[in-house]
């Protein structure tokens, strides 16, 4: 990555994080059901999701909506710099690294993302081409290539932007889910 590209991404991340600190909650409890319908995911199938933190759109209620709808929900487990591992969410959580909460179930390994009929991906922003700007840790960059189902970035409406800086290793999103617009297929 060039230093110019690194600087542009750092500046964007700083600006987006600051905006999230004052943003209203975006629980996405009902919107998540439109996402599974948009991709013909039926109860019994697996959805990889995440537990929202630090102003991220989404909520525990979003996860519980999926689970009560009959979907098998996998949540990530951070294991060092490696790809994310996944575990089934059965309604119980435990403390994880970096102040995160993670599912209390038995880890299924990094390849479990490949069983998902839909992957809901946290992002700071996503553009009209499907380029995703993450937090910069690389956990999802190392995990998403193992996914076989559609990838839907979850952002606030104002975080869905025309263009973001892209790198060759970036995995493109198939859709974006926002509180106001719902599901939008990508690229536009």
Q: What is the pLDDT, as a whole number, of residue 176?
A: 98
**Per-residue pLDDT at 157 exceeds 70:** yes
Structural domain range at position 149: 3-185
Task: Look at phi and psi of residue 157 and say left if phi exceeds 0, alpha if psi is from -120 to 50, else beta.
Answer: alpha
Give the per-residue pLDDT at 168: 87
Residue indicated by tokens 């098998």: 72
Convert the pLDDT of each residue in 79-102 to its tens digit: 888 899 999 999 999 999 888 899
CATH code for the domain of 173: 3.40.50.10420
3 state SS for 57-108: CCCHHHHHHHHHCCCEEEEEECCCCCCCEEEECCCCEEECHHHCEEECCCCC
The predicted structure's pLDDT at residue 169: 84
pLDDT of residue 1: 60
Residue with tokens 């435990």: 94
Query: Is pLDDT above 70 for 9?
Result: yes
pTM (predicted TM-score):
0.96
pLDDT reading at 51 higher than 90:
yes
Residue 152: strand pairing partners = 120, 175
Domain count across the chain: 1
The pLDDT mean for the chain works out to 94
> 């263009």: which residue's tokens?
163
Torsion of Cα atoms, 11 then 58 then 185 then 145, to 10°: 70
């Amino acid at each position: 990555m060039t230093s110019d590209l690194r600087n542009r991404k750092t500046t964007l991340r700083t600006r987006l994080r600051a905006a999230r600190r004052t943003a209203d909650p975006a629980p996405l409890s009902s919107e998540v059901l439109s996402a599974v319908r948009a991709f013909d995911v039926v109860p019994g199938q697996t959805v990889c999701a995440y537990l929202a933190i630090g102003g991220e759109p989404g909520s525990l209620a979003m996860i519980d909506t999926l689970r009560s709808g009959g979907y098998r929900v996998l949540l990530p487990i951070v294991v060092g710099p490696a790809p994310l591992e996944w575990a089934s969410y059965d309604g119980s959580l435990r403390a994880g690294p970096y102040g995160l909460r993670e599912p209390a179930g038995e880890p299924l390994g990094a390849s479990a993302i490949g069983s998902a009929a839909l992957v809901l991906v946290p992002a700071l922003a996503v553009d009209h081409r499907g380029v995703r700007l993450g937090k910069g840790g690389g956990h999802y960059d190392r995990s998403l290539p193992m996914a076989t189902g559609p990838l839907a970035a979850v952002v606030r409406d104002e975080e869905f932007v025309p263009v973001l800086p892209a790198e060759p290793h970036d995995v493109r999103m198939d859709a974006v889910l926002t509180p106001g617009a719902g599901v939008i297929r990508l690229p536009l």
